[in-house]
Amino acid sequence: MDITIPQRKDVIKGIKDQGGVVAAVLPIHYSRALLRSFNIYPVEVWGPPKVDESLGGTHLQAYVCSIVHNALSFLKMGGLDIANLILIPHTCDSLQGLASMLMDLINPEQAIIPLYLPRGQREEDVVFLADELRSLYTRFSDFTGKNPTSDDLLAAIKREEMSDLLLTKLYGNRQKIGLNNIDFYRLVRLREFLPAEQFSALAEKALQTTAEPQPGIPIILSGILPEPMEVLNMIDEINGLVVADDLACCGRRLYKPGTSLEPFRRMAESIVYAPPDPTRGNTIEERIKHLAAMAQNSGAKGVIFYEVKFCEPELFDLPNLRAGLKEHGLASIIIEVDINNPLPRQVATRIGAFLEMLAS
């Protein structure tokens, strides 16, 4: 497939050259449309991997995950200097702790803006999040001096909904567009920093490609993110094929459009009714049902829980989640990684043995 994957630094330069404001956004859920209606471009920060984590280590306990360690280290080494503000969703205790530390102790030059997320899918959760997004509107308005109208907001929402729809189509057609594991994730993870209109153009191009399905033992990848991304090459090399995922950076953000015509409520609905995610308070039963249906639809034979070390929201669910999946005939394995470290060869051995077991 003839698609050039844009580099993050070039995308950021393009935004800045056009007078856009850059927001560094930490994981996981927020409304891209709200930011874009203020000409603020979200560039997500999932770590990044492989930075000198000692800079963050002077402020954080050793048992805080490497996503938070790296984000703080990256900020301290100047990696976020390009950002005008930093948006930190209250995804977990570690990210909430990071937001407090930045606001109370470190005081970086960028504005630190937290976003509180509800933990459920009830009507009051939608109302709560819509109110939170209204508060963010005021913060962004103070920050930029802009006051986008409801029509401006709805136009931004529609643009993001189109990108989300195309992202979902890429997932539905992943076996037909001829990409191996790593190239597929390089493409879909562009949603983390590429403006929606540019992502949509690339996704449409990819969807025009037709290729023979890739061979391999079909599996689901679950967890926060596929980093270090070498893991995807490793899975290719040992004849595994990721046919679906339950990753926080990817499959858990296949947002459906909201239904309300009121922009804040519509943005809130889209996030609250997203696929199950332990950080948004979905129950283990909901996750089992979701993963079992995913396996049935994709033909996956097992689940690799590829987890960031010390990620409490993920690790707490695993014993009951795995037991429930086993009752649905789905085997699983847990791999824990620190996104700073090279992938140990032992990971290939364990995944290889798991795939062999699934194939037998």
Query: 179 or 224, CB closer to ligand SF4?
Result: 224
Question: What is the closest distance, in whole angstroms, from the C-beta atom of residue 70 to ligand SF4 in the complex?
Answer: 10
Give whichever of 119 and 328 is closer to ligand SF4, judged by the CB atom: 119
The minimum distance between CB 288 and ligand SF4, in angstroms, equals 20
Residues 18-57 that bind ligand SF4 (CB under 6 A): 27
From the CB of 161, what's the least distance to ligand SF4, in Å? 25
Based on the number of CB atoms within 10 Å of its own CB, is 304 exposed (0-12), middle (13-18) or buried (19 or more)? buried
State both tokens at 213.
């399905």
CB distance 267 to 157 below 8 Å: yes
Bond from prior residue into 278 cis (ω within 30 degrees of 0)? no
* Binding flag, residue 68, ligand SF4 (CB under 6 A): yes
94 binds ligand SF4 (CB under 6 A): yes
Task: Rank residues 33 and 311 by Cβ distance to ligand SF4 and give the closer one.
Answer: 311
Taking the complex as a whole, the smallest distance from the CB of residue 187 to ligand SF4 amounts, in Å, to 23
Backbone angles phi, psi at 283, to 5 degrees: -80, 165
Q: Considering beta carbons, is residue 14 or 120 the nearer one to ligand SF4?
A: 120
Binding part of the chain for ligand SF4, among 92-100, 167-175, 263-271, 293-301 by CB under 6 A, reads 92-100
Distance in Å, CB of 290 to ligand SF4, minimum: 18
Task: Report helix, strand and coil shares of the chain as percent, to nearest 5.
Answer: 50, 15, 35
Indicate whether 222 belongs to the interface with ligand SF4 (CB under 6 A).
no
Q: Is 275 within 8 Å of 251 (Cβ atoms)?
A: yes
Q: Is 60 in the site for ligand SF4 (CB under 6 A)?
A: no
In terms of CB distance, is 190 or 311 closer to ligand SF4? 311
Taking CB under 6 A as the criterion, which residues in 275-334 touch ligand SF4?
A: 279, 308, 311-314
Q: What is the side-by-side order of every strand in the sheet holding 217-223?
A: 240-247, 217-223, 302-308, 331-337
Q: What is the DSSP string of 7-72?
A: PHHHHHHHHHHTT-EEEEE-SS---HHHHHTTTEEEEE-S--SSS-THHHHTTS-TTS-HHHHHHH
Looking at the Cβ atoms of 164 and 227, the one nearer to ligand SF4 is: 227
The stretch among 64-72, 123-131, 153-161, 269-277 that binds ligand SF4 (CB under 6 A) is 64-72
CB-CB neighbours of 205 under 10 Å: 13
* ∠ Cα 12 16 22 (to 5°): 65
> 245: which 2 tokens?
């995922």
Residues that bind ligand SF4 (CB under 6 A): 27, 65, 67-68, 91-92, 94-95, 224, 279, 308, 311-314
